[in-house]
Amino acid sequence: MTLREGLLWLMGIGAGVLAFYAIDRLENQNKWPIIAAWLAMLRPDDKRGLAFVATAGIAVVAYLGTLLMLYEITPTSWRVWVEELFKVSAAAIVASQVVHGRVVLRRRAPD
């Protein structure tokens, strides 16, 4: 895998994988009990919203990495910036939900 491929992965499904993994790990660890307790208190839909925000944040940082490495053309106006950031965030969130539906929800389904 090249750096470009890694950044592209993080701009899509990888952002969701990392976000859900990080939230799960933080909730089930003892190093930062305040964070673990806070995450444990969240309702499932609030935790899902947090995962959406984390997913979008990771994807945007990866997109900025592609710009820094000159893999992508830098947007020329504020409107193009808004469109690109929305596109990257939405794609990562949708991809993460596909994986969530295929992996996590399938585990919960009764046989």
pTM comes to: 0.85
More confident call, 21 vs 59: 59
Mean of pLDDT over the chain: 89
Amino acid letter, residue 99: V
In angstroms, the CA 81 to CA 1 distance is: 28
Total domains in the fold of the chain: 1
Per-residue pLDDT of 80-102, as tens digits, reads 999 999 999 999 999 888 877 77
Domain that holds residue 28: 3-108
Short-list 70, 45, 53, 68, CA closest to 15: 53
Per-residue pLDDT of 1-19, as tens digits, reads 899 999 999 999 899 889 9
